Amino acid sequence: MRVQLLRHATLLVQLGGSEYLIDPMLSPAGAWEPVRNSANPRRNPLVELPLSAAELAKALGSAAGVFVTHTHADHWDKPAQERLPKDQPIFCQPADADAIRAEGFRQVIPVNPGLEWGGLEIALTGGRHGTGEVAERIGPVSGFVLRAEHEPSLYVAGDTIWCEQVEAALAAHRPSVVVVNAGAAQFTDSGPITMDAADVLTVARAAPESQVVAVHFESINHCLLSRRELRERVEREGLAERVLIPDDGEVLEF
């Protein structure tokens, strides 16, 4: 299995002989207004994609399918909707299927609770995008567990904090690799709505046989935890080998 972090939560995953795109955010740097009610009022995305135009076009054209954990713009933006082929298989949570179909996609495949497709076993997992009223307001989120014969299994947790749904997914699926969205995204009047450093450490300890990969850093203005801060924390806790924190464009092989 090969996992490349492009930027934020956008991944290219090679698994079972095919390549998949996860949570595509393709906008150029500075294309959007800052996330409102944030302590860091910079335009988003904060950085460019680490691919040339030709490399990006190749990746979009070769993807066997796209996984969308939820339809917030930093995971499924207008350029992705416009550039992806309309016959591209799009895997999503049931709550988002109608909205994605409305964008003209003809192969929208809601996952609930799981299915087999093209030699891939796919399971939907739950999560909590924050706590209290904030989590209720910003809507449902999901993750996916992907398995292919003779390869490591992959759990992409999506935009969630540590919660009982994540704990249950780890226990039920025992994934080889766990990708968590860190960055401690938050508003000025909320706690984190994605994993902070303590959450990432909790995942690593709850899944001692899994390799944890932390992404979702330094690309959107309300993500306040930096890679450097998390690296320092996992080193102090003796978990640096268990928690990988890739840079944009970096490729990990499992």
What's the order of all strands across the beta sheet hosting 10-15? 108-110, 90-92, 65-68, 18-22, 10-15, 2-7, 251-253
The string of DSSP codes covering the chain is -EEEEEETTEEEEEETTEEEEES---PPTT-BPPPSS-S----B-SS--SS-HHHHHHHHHH-SEEEES---TTTS-HHHHHHS-TTS-EEE-GGGHHHHHHTT-S-EEE-SSEEEETTEEEEEE---SSSHHHHHHT----EEEEEETTS--EEE--S--S-HHHHHHHHHH--SEEEEE-TT---TTS--SS--HHHHHHHHHH-TTSEEEEE--SSSTT----HHHHHHHHHHTT-TTTEE-PPTT-EEE-
Across the chain, mean pLDDT equals 97
**What pLDDT shows up at residue 199?**
98
Q: What are phi and psi of 211, to 5 degrees?
A: -90, 125
pLDDT > 90? residue 253? yes
* Digit-coded pLDDT (tens) for 61-115: 999 999 999 999 999 999 999 999 999 999 999 999 999 999 999 999 999 999 9
| Mean pLDDT computed over 237-252 | 98
Lowest-confidence region among 9-18, 22-31, 33-42, 206-215: 33-42
Domains plus CATH for the chain? 2-253 (3.60.15.10)
Q: Which two tokens stand for residue 75?
A: 């995971």
| Mean pLDDT computed over 51-58 | 95
**What pLDDT shows up at residue 139?**
87
- pTM of the predicted model, to two decimals? 0.97
